[in-house]
Structure 1
Amino acid sequence: MSEVSISGAWPLERYRSYLRVLAHAQLDRKLRGKLDSSDLVQRTLLRAHECKNQFRGQTEEELKAWLRRILANDLANVVEAFASDKRRLALERSIEAGLEHASSCLDDWLRAEDLSPGEEAIRNEKLMRLTDAVQELPKDQRTAIEMRFLQQVSLEEIAKQLGKTKPSVAGLIRRAMKALRERLDS
């Protein structure tokens, strides 16, 4: 695992796209019109910066897990503000589990077993490039990719939620995957 240097510059900005992809994947469609995932990520990064002395990890994986917990808490606060009196603890656990799952799906795209520290650093860099590339996709393509690969929603359900046909959604995903490959290969 690659070590995270927290002396000097705090390396949070490089996680912005990563967190935005996770936040967007977990943000309920009904709330997306009321809240932008970029605002949520900005709040998360600000809180992380303010609380950086509370980070006890050493590796990049520990930093990403810490950032996901802050994001889960922020997301729970936002959802709670828009929702009725639901049990907060269950909500936080549900959101945190969803973020962990989405992060795991991203990691699985780049997964390799028994990596050396140098290889782990390269994999983490690829993950950051992937999340940056996902953010650059057109909105329909980005939404289809996030739903299919981060939320593991079926093509039929994606088509239903986006108001498109199943072949149309398959085409969106195919074009998005091609664009991602081109961006990552360049």
Structure 2
Amino acid sequence: MKCVRNVSNPPGKFCYCNGPLATREATNPIEPTMTSNDPSEPTPTEPHESPARAEEIARYEPYLRMLARMQMRASYKAKLGASDIVQQTMMQAVAAIDQYRGTTEAEWRAWLRKILVRQMCHLDRDLHRDKRDIRREQSMEQRVAQSSMRLEGLLAGDVGTPSQHAMVGESLVSLADAIESLPEAQRDAIAMHYLEGLKLSEVAERMDKTTGSVAGLLHRGMKQLRQNFHE
């Protein structure tokens, strides 16, 4: 199966490849070209990935979208959404899939997260005309990895069942999808408190709400999350 970057699709749509990764909707077309000549980064090739791997990339969209949303700068949130960044990330992953050398589910997630972080940093430089900041990339990689670990903790502690714990990769995707489906205020409160590790007072300050209001959002959000996740 040959993967291609489709430049002829109508605005808001693109195709990852001629196979499992079918055309998807984007909330806004991405204008910056987020590519790099850095040899340490995944490089688009003419891959011969298996359909199963291509489907895996598409399956992780909710997980990547949730992580991207938490790291997006306010200065460019109005210009494009987390879904746009994630779709660009998945295109890059499909194009570079021959370079993946991991063997475990955890390594697969880490590889996708690394591509996500690089795409976000490319976007940041394109929009702000900044030079590459290696320390900022490393810091973002650490934050994204920590959020993923906290998502696993949420799965193990408050939401998941023993059978779901045994299928971490699939369950993490489902949990991320359930979080993304919550009302915006509940979703943001849960992400900040449980996945970014912010204190209740810090969440309240960031959301410009009282601590009591945030506590209510967390209570209702977790209740709805459990219901959504186990449906």
TM-score tier after normalising by the smaller chain length: 0.7 to 0.9
Partner AA of 1:128 in structure 2: V
Aligned-pair identity in percent equals: 39
Alignment equivalent of 1:173, drawn from 206, 218, 221: 218
Shift of 1:164: 1.3
- The CA RMSD over aligned residues, in Å, is 2.0
1:18 has 2:59 as partner: no
Count of residues in Structure 1 that have an aligned counterpart in Structure 2: 176
Structure 1: tracts of 5 or more residues without a match: 1-5, 113-117
CA pair 34-105 structure 1, distance change in 2 beyond 3 A = same
Aligned to 1:70: 115
| Structure index of larger Rg | 2
* Map 1:79-118 → 2, pairs under 5 A: 79-83=124-128, 85=130, 88-111=133-156
Cα distance in 1 for residues equivalent to 2:113 and 2:73 = 17
Q: Unmatched 5+ residue regions in structure 2?
A: 1-48, 158-162
Q: Which amino acid aligns with 2:50?
A: S
Q: Could you give the per-residue CA deviations for residues 27-46 of structure 1, whole angstroms, max 9, x where no partner exists?
A: 12333223311101000001
Compare relative contact order (CA 8 Å, sep 6+) and give the higher one, 1 or 2: 1
Equivalent residue number for residue 84 of structure 2: 39
Q: Contact 2:204–2:210 (CA<8 Å) still a contact in 1?
A: yes
Q: Distance in 2 between matches of 1:32 and 1:153?
A: 21
Structure 1 distance, partners of 2:230, 2:51, is 32
Structure 1 length as normaliser, TM-score? Answer: 0.86
Q: How much has 1:120 moved relative to structure 2?
A: 6.5
Q: Note the C-alpha offset of 1:23.
A: 0.7
For residues 86 and 184 of structure 1, the distance between their equivalents in structure 2, rounded to whole angstroms, comes to: 41
Is 1:49 matched with 2:94? yes
Aligned 8 A contact 2:147 2:195 in 1: yes
Gap change, CA 1:90 and 1:124, over 3 Å in 2: same
Cα distance in 2, alignment partners of residues 98 and 31 from structure 1: 19
TM-score (norm 2): 0.70
- Whether the 8 Å contact between 1:48 and 1:67 is mirrored in structure 2 is yes
| Contact kept? 1:75, 1:95, Cα under 8 Å | no
Given that 1:80 and 1:88 are in contact with CA atoms closer than 8 Å, whether structure 2 keeps it comes out as: no
- Tell me if structure 2 keeps the 8 A contact 1:41–1:71: yes
